[in-house]
Amino acid sequence: MIDLAKHWDFVYGTKDTNKVSWYQNSPDTSRKLIEKYVMDHDAPIVDVGTGSSNLPSCLIQDGYTDISVIEISQLAVKSSMNNLGERSNKVKWHIMNILDFEAEYEYMVWHDRAVFHFLKTNEEQERYKEILYKYLKESGYAIFATFSKNDGPKKCSGLDVCQHDNQSISDLFAPEFIVVESFEEMHATPSGKNQKFYWNIIKKGKP
């Protein structure tokens, strides 16, 4: 069985941050969705699998004060902290596999761009759902971006992925969560290729 921490340390240790396929100079869609669903800038937000994303920096810039990160790669976290400099102390860092996550607090927004689609088995997906349910506040929102079932990639960084759409996310997370918004988006990689992502925003609790 693959050691995922070593795998992702290798990825982040051998590739420039701005050349990995998922790189975004500015994570505009994530920022817009978080702003849409979080009125309170002091609300707790967690970014799952942040890698060396610019999202934590952007959220600090946007005025959010309670930001957490869950990331399996120590090298990715080190890179992200170096990029933030003194502002890195404004982020709570959790270096671990999301399926092993534990904390003493809950979040109002759970952001996951391109982690959930790496979970291919029913056991992994159910474990993720359990963790999400435990650590997302009642009426909180989870924002997902996964490779689309509509001709999205089937592999990433040498790993197989599970493509999703509105129906698959609804089926997986019901009845504890409901889908409140979904749309497809094309992501242009640094190498010039296009990748289809499907965004789903789900809410914990009743409509």
Can you give the pLDDT at residue 192? 83
**Mean pLDDT to the nearest integer, 175-189:** 94
What CATH topology corresponds to 4-15+37-204? Rossmann fold (3.40.50)
> What was the pLDDT predicted at 191?
83
> How far are the Cα atoms of 53, 84, 123, 138 from residue 127, in angstroms, in the given order?
25, 31, 6, 19
**Residue 188's closest CA among 179, 197, 177?**
197
Q: Is the pLDDT of residue 1 over 70?
A: no
Q: How many distinct helices (H) and strands (E) make up the chain?
A: 6, 9
**What does the pLDDT look like over 21-45, one tens digit per residue?**
787 888 999 999 999 999 899 999 9
The pLDDT score that the predictor gives to residue 207 is: 63
Instruction: State how far the Cα of 137 lies from the Cα of 59, in Å rounded to an integer.
Output: 20
Give the pLDDT confidence of 62-106 residue by residue, as tens digits: 999 999 999 999 999 999 999 899 999 999 999 999 999 999 999
pLDDT the model gives residue 46: 98
In the chain the first and final C-alpha atoms are separated, in Å, by 40
pLDDT tops 90 at residue 159: yes
- As a whole-number percent, the residues of the chain with pLDDT over 90 amount to 81
